[in-house]
Amino acid sequence: MLGLTLALRLAQRGNNVTIIEAAPGLGGLTASFTRAGITWDRFYHVIATSDTHLLGLLDELGLAGDVTWGTTKTNFYDGAELYPLNDVFDYLRLPALSAMDKARLGLNILYGSLLTDGVALEQQNVEDWLVRWSGRRTFEKLWRPLLRAKLGDNFKHASAAYIWAIIRRFYGARHGQSKTELFGYVRGGYSTVIDAMVSALEKHGVALECGSAVEDVSSSPTGITVATSAGVRTFDQVAVTFASPIAARICAGLEPGERSRHAEIRYQGVLCTSLLLKRPLGGAYLTYITDERIPFTTVIEMSSLVDRARLDGHHLVYLPKYVPSWDPLLDASESDIEALFLPGIAQMFPDFTPSDIVAVHHARTRYVTAISTLNYSAMLPPMATSVPGLYICNSSHIVNASLSVTETIDLANRAAARIDG
């Protein structure tokens, strides 16, 4: 969505634009696939009412009327039992924390939701900030397991801005005095969005070249040369949107210090297993997990929000596992992943059996999100590189905000103005 939106904005500003994509199709993290005659997104996505940039693009693409909204539920699994976690009364009933712990946790979340600038939080370690506000016991019993599930040992390097951005987005999705969650999705998923985006790109004359892996980007006397598996092309300007470690390897003309800054950005990868099931699991859209024995990060029951008629009456569940970009799990076989994940489902939902599975798919990527480390903004290389006409713009430039499609679109809008300014 970053590359597609950036291309659309540059074309709308009167530029001749070509998209070069390694994959056989477009979409990246928002791509879809089909199993058992049903199409669904490779990775889970949801729209919050605060996602103004995404909602604006959907309106521009003529899809505003295709967004369906629903109130969702949240569960909490502590290794022994599932607890609802939907309002203040559910928080008060959580057995893992004392009344004082819960009060401090509530203040921590409220304070985080009210902060409007996370730059100052980049100077504070995430553990120190959470312990100061929520207390040591709440950190050990709640925050630490959640951070480890999302970041692994990388949480030790994260700044407080990381968790602040997550608090801001999900608190913004809660409405009313009871603060219930309201989320939306586009009918047909991101397959619908990508189709509409391709139509808009073609309308503006954007050339789409799929199946062309970029091997080298370098300066030449006539512009910026892009070598791909399909040949060599030269452009006046080039915007590279793949992850910084890849950009450091492929963009040969970067200055040594610039290359190092890109190469050293810490990324988390993700393995996301999606299951089409004959039955629901916990019935909640999101189940937080603090039991570190469970091999996946959360349970996302998308069919609690999506119209099941589009799933042929089945239930769609995502099981993400966030790992460092070098983790061997990203290269594991499908049988090894299922041998790891299925017992975890059975532990949380004892009546689950493998015969409940209609279809299964494993999606993975090494570079899904850059971690907001200490002094992140000061260390981040600018989009305009030392090579005239070459820009590197990727998710690492989503600063002090949680990685989401709406933040990606905001970044693309800002980058287009910068590149064409």
For residue 181, count CB atoms less than 10 angstroms from its CB and return exposed for 0-12, middle for 13-18, buried for 19 or more.
buried
pLDDT computed for residue 216 by the predictor? 96
Confidence of residue 173 (pLDDT cuts 50, 70, 90): low
Contact 385, 30 (CB under 8 A): no
State the amino acid at position 92 in one-letter form.
L
Residue-wise pLDDT tens digits, 29-43: 999 999 888 999 999
Sign of the Cα torsion 200, 202, 206, 210 reads: positive
pLDDT computed for residue 66 by the predictor? 96
The rounded mean pLDDT for the chain is 92
Quick one: average pLDDT of 210-237?
A: 95
pLDDT computed for residue 36 by the predictor? 86
Quick one: average pLDDT of 5-10?
A: 98
Confidence of residue 91 (pLDDT cuts 50, 70, 90): confident
Confidence of residue 345 (pLDDT cuts 50, 70, 90): very high
- pLDDT higher than 80, residue 10: yes
Q: First vs last Cα of the chain: how many Å apart?
A: 21
Which pair of tokens denotes residue 321? 């596992």
Residue-wise pLDDT tens digits, 108-139: 988 888 888 888 899 999 999 999 999 999 99
Of 214, 265, 292, 228, which is closest to residue 368 (Cα–Cα)? 265
What is the rounded radius of gyration, in angstroms, for the C-alpha atoms of the chain? 22
pLDDT computed for residue 252 by the predictor? 87
Alpha-carbon distance 359 to 331, whole Å? 21
Alpha carbon 332 to its chain centroid, in Å, reads: 21
Which pair of tokens denotes residue 154? 């990388």
Alpha-carbon distance 15 to 206, whole Å? 9
- pLDDT higher than 50, residue 175: no
Q: What percent of the chain has pLDDT over 90?
A: 74
pLDDT computed for residue 180 by the predictor? 62
| φ/ψ (deg, to 5) at 159 | -90, 170
pLDDT computed for residue 170 by the predictor? 67
Alpha-carbon distance 224 to 58, whole Å? 33
Contact 71, 284 (CB under 8 A): no
For residue 223, count CB atoms less than 10 angstroms from its CB and return exposed for 0-12, middle for 13-18, buried for 19 or more.
middle
280 versus 170: the higher-pLDDT residue is 280
Alpha carbon 218 to its chain centroid, in Å, reads: 30
- pLDDT higher than 60, residue 340: yes
pLDDT computed for residue 178 by the predictor? 46
Q: What percent of the chain has pLDDT over 70?
A: 97
State the amino acid at position 293 in one-letter form.
R
Confidence of residue 179 (pLDDT cuts 50, 70, 90): low
Annotate the chain with three-state secondary structure. Answer: CHHHHHHHHHHHCCCCCEEEECCCCCCHHHCEEEECCEEEECCCCCEECCCHHHHHHHHHCCCHHHEEEEEECEEEECCCCEEECCCHHHHHHCCCCCHHHHHHHHHHHHHHHHCCCCCHHHHCEHHHHHHHHHCHHHHHHHHHHHHHHHHHHHHHHEEHHHHHHHHHHHHHCEECCCCEEEEEEECCCHHHHHHHHHHHHHHCCCEEEECCCEEEEEEECCEEEEEECCEEEEECCEEECCCHHHHHHHECCCCHHHHHHHHCCCEEEEEEEEEEECCCCCCCCEEEECCCCCCCCEEEEHHHCCCHHHHCCCEEEEEEEEEECCCHHHHCCHHHHHHHHHHHHHHHCCCCCHHHEEEEEEEEEEEEEECCECCHHHHCCCCECCCCCEEECCHHHCCCCCCCHHHHHHHHHHHHHHHCC
Alpha-carbon distance 291 to 289, whole Å? 6
pLDDT computed for residue 89 by the predictor? 74
Residue appearing with tokens 């980058």: 415
Residue appearing with tokens 């006046």: 236
Quick one: average pLDDT of 381-396?
A: 96
pLDDT computed for residue 317 by the predictor? 97
Quick one: average pLDDT of 333-356?
A: 96
Roughly what angle, to the nearest 10 degrees, separates helices 160-172 and 99-114? Answer: 90
Quick one: average pLDDT of 357-367?
A: 96
CA distances to 73, 87, 173, 179 from 176, rounded to whole Å, are: 14, 11, 10, 5
pLDDT computed for residue 335 by the predictor? 96
Looking at the DSSP bridge assignments, the partners of residue 208 are: 19
pLDDT computed for residue 321 by the predictor? 95
